[in-house]
Amino acid sequence: MYSRPKPRSMPIDQGRRLLLRGAACVPLATAAGCGGGSSFPMGSMGMGGPVGPIVSSVTEHSLPILPLDTGVLDPSGTRQFALRVQRGTTQFRDGVDTPTLGYNGALLGPALRLRAGEATRIRVLNDLDEATTVHWHGLVVPADVDGGPHQPIAPGASWEARFTVANPPSTCWFHPHGHGVTGRQVLSGLAGLVIVDDPTVDPGALPRTWGVDDLALVLQDKRFTPSGQIDTRLSADDRLSGYSGETLLVNGVTGAVWQAPRQWVRLRLLNGCNARTLSVRLGNAAALLQVANEGGRLAQAVARSSIALAPGERAEVLVDLGSVASGAEVALLARSVDTGMGMGMGMGMGMGGASGESEVTALKMRVSLPRQADAIAAPPSALIAAPAIVAAAGATSRSFTLEGGMMGDLFTINGRSFDIRRIDVTLPAHTVEVWRFFNATMMAHPIHVHGVRMSLLTRDGAAPALHERGLRDTFVVEPMQTVAVAVQTPAQASSTPLMFHCHILEHEDAGMMGQFVAV
């Protein structure tokens, strides 16, 4: 049983004053100080995104550390992993057993530690009584092992993914991607992390001791029935805006508390919600120093007062706990971001809903451990980032229009709902194209493209913010906005399709998805 165990950006040199602000903090009290409020009136007005409040937990639970699986290196030099998709029982409430799904456990999954350039084999056994898939979200892998809807794993069957790791150091994740069931299976507990390391990139530049100063945080919201079971039923609002729950969980628990060391720590943040966009900040008003987005490291650290993450997006941040008094707490606060036009604010701006809305404490970082021997002395002023994808003049350009959501219309891409038998785009392998996504709907959509490297070029003609540069795999398109991205197509041709879709899982399941092949 698993038992509870767009804000302004600035380069690091311009953000040191913000970094130092409020470094010492007394134990949590209110959202105005170091803690969080008791409720979270989310809601977008008008046509906007998820509605309904999230409520703070008054009961503390020790933060579960996701197990780190380093695999086994076989004689051929291939690193092997094994995943079992299984049913289990989790106590989200004391004394109440709730059926859940997990990988190698009752809920969520491990963090698989991969190495760039290394041959890798992952064997997946499906012990469920229904089909599932395992999609490696963010990994650049061949189409036939991508784990999309074309690679279902029948109940009792097994499946293997073999590939050479082609990603730079980054935080990716894995989750189901069966057509029409992704939202329910993720909500039931199926999500895990993929950590990509590269020994040629300075490993000592960032905190790296797993669970001690290098921490993975999976943020998710859920609804529960009066009997304490996960409520997976979809309301009319859920079908329009995506599923929203009243309870915020971190690594599967509410009221999470982490015993932290007095030093710089690294938080790997994943928005694993089905639909809700979350903006996070520190309760002591110090900055989050972002060193990576989901595609990998940024060229330079960016000090941010808060960070908005749409479903599927990730960010790696450094937090300075070195000046916090022993025994004191620093809160990671969360609030919802309005994803519609009801108040003229979009998901990527990190501005949230109604003025004066309260926040919840997602995590209490209780500074109770001494500084570790291998702690970094200071954050790096420069980072080794993978080169961004650049499109040459005259590169092939493709346009995609996001539509629907009005008067009960289905959400579509270029007027089409997903058909697994139809190839929407055929493109040449091993080239760079420009893809433009125009959002004609009244709410923001996070777009995810499988199996490619890509970089943002412009938002409505303007260069992307510092934290949005570099490699990406998921990005937000605001209402009535056009986002242009440079896409490096798959290196090898394949008749197996790859997906591009909205990562609001209820939209994806309902057909806001297309597929392409490289020839």
Residue 226, CA distances (Å) to 95, 396, 481 in order: 14, 54, 41
What value does the mean pLDDT take over residues 289-299?
Answer: 96
One CATH from 3.90.226.10, 2.60.120.10, 1.10.1040.10, 2.60.40.420 for 2-61+204-369: 2.60.40.420
**CATH 2.60.40.420 residue ranges in the chain?**
2-61+204-369, 68-197, 397-518
Position 409 scores a pLDDT of 81
Q: Taking a C-beta distance cutoff of 8 angstroms, is the pair 443, 411 a contact?
A: no
Residue 269, CA distances (Å) to 172, 261, 331, 350, 463 in order: 10, 18, 14, 15, 25
Quote the Cα angle for 310-232-270, to 5°: 25
Selected residue with higher pLDDT from 302 and 11: 302
Of 135, 311, 339, 308, the C-alpha closest to 220 is 311
Query: 335: how many CB neighbours lie within 10 A of its CB?
Result: 27
- 498 membership: H or E segment, kind and range: strand 494-502
Position 165 scores a pLDDT of 98
- The string of pLDDT tens digits covering residues 184-197 is 999 999 999 999 99
The sign of the torsion formed by the CA atoms of 236, 504, 89, 212 equals negative
Q: Taking a C-beta distance cutoff of 8 angstroms, is the pair 479, 127 a contact?
A: no
What percent of the chain shows pLDDT beyond 90? Answer: 81
Of 203, 259, 207, the C-alpha closest to 375 is 207
β partners of residue 290:
302, 317
Q: Across the chain, what does the average pLDDT equal?
A: 88
Residues 444 and 465: their CA atoms lie apart, in Å, by 18
Of 275, 114, 300, the C-alpha closest to 193 is 114
What value does the mean pLDDT take over residues 47-67?
Answer: 74
- The answer, yes or no, to whether residue 458 has pLDDT greater than 80, is yes
Of 166, 154, 241, the C-alpha closest to 512 is 241
Q: Taking a C-beta distance cutoff of 8 angstroms, is the pair 448, 312 a contact?
A: yes
- The answer, yes or no, to whether residue 210 has pLDDT greater than 60, is yes
**Range of lowest pLDDT (46-55, 211-220, 258-267, 309-318):** 46-55
One-letter amino acid identity for 379? Answer: P
The confidence band for 30, taking pLDDT boundaries of 50, 70 and 90, is very low
Of 454, 498, 380, the C-alpha closest to 11 is 380
Position 2 scores a pLDDT of 43
- The answer, yes or no, to whether residue 182 has pLDDT greater than 50, is yes
- The answer, yes or no, to whether residue 447 has pLDDT greater than 70, is yes
Position 56 scores a pLDDT of 66
Domain 397-518: give its CATH superfamily. Answer: Cupredoxins -  blue copper proteins (2.60.40.420)
Q: Taking a C-beta distance cutoff of 8 angstroms, is the pair 170, 196 a contact?
A: yes
- The string of pLDDT tens digits covering residues 211-267 is 999 999 999 999 999 999 999 999 999 999 999 999 999 999 999 999 999 999 999
Residues 222 and 121: their CA atoms lie apart, in Å, by 33
What value does the mean pLDDT take over residues 115-120?
Answer: 97
- The answer, yes or no, to whether residue 44 has pLDDT greater than 80, is no
Task: Fold for 68-197, please state it.
Answer: Immunoglobulin-like (2.60.40)
Tokens representing 395 are 């590169």
Residues 219 and 37: their CA atoms lie apart, in Å, by 18
Of 307, 274, 276, 275, the C-alpha closest to 290 is 307
As to burial, measured by CB atoms within 10 angstroms (0-12 exposed, 13-18 middle, 19+ buried), residue 81 is buried
Position 264 scores a pLDDT of 98
- The answer, yes or no, to whether residue 22 has pLDDT greater than 80, is no
The confidence band for 454, taking pLDDT boundaries of 50, 70 and 90, is very high
Position 11 scores a pLDDT of 41
Position 18 scores a pLDDT of 36
Q: Taking a C-beta distance cutoff of 8 angstroms, is the pair 490, 449 a contact?
A: no
Q: Taking a C-beta distance cutoff of 8 angstroms, is the pair 44, 346 a contact?
A: no
